[in-house]
Amino acid sequence: MPDAPTLSPSTAPLAEAPFYLPQGSEVSLFEQAQRHGLPLLLKGPTGCGKTRFVAHMAARLGLPLYTVACHDDLTAADLTGRYLLKGGETVWVDGPLTRAVREGGICYLDEVVEARKDVTVVLHPLTDDRRILPLERTGELLEAPPGFMLVVSYNPGYQNILKSLKPSTRQRFLAFDFAYPAPDLEARVVVSESGVDTETAAMLVRLAGRIRGMAGADLEEAASTRLLVYCAILIKAGRPLREAVRAAIIEPLSDDPAVKAGLSEAIAALL
Residues that bind ligand ADP (CB under 6 A): 19-21, 44, 46-52, 181, 189, 193, 225-226, 229
Residue 146, number of CB atoms within 10 A of its CB:
11
- Of 148 and 180, CB closest to ligand ADP: 180
CB of 157 to ligand ADP, least distance (A): 12
- Of 47 and 81, CB closest to ligand ADP: 47
CB of 113 to ligand ADP, least distance (A): 14
Alpha-carbon gap, residue 30 to 253, rounded angstroms = 31
- Of 37 and 157, CB closest to ligand ADP: 157
CB of 180 to ligand ADP, least distance (A): 8
1 SS3 class: coil
- Of 229 and 248, CB closest to ligand ADP: 229
- State which residue has the least CB distance to ligand ADP: 49
Strand runs labelled E in 48-161: 65-69, 81-86, 89-94, 106-110, 132-135, 140-143, 149-154
**Which spans in the chain are helix H?**
26-35, 50-61, 76-80, 96-103, 118-123, 167-170, 183-194, 198-214, 225-236, 241-245, 251-253, 257-268
CB of 51 to ligand ADP, least distance (A): 3
CB of 131 to ligand ADP, least distance (A): 25
65 SS3 class: strand
- Of 177 and 197, CB closest to ligand ADP: 177
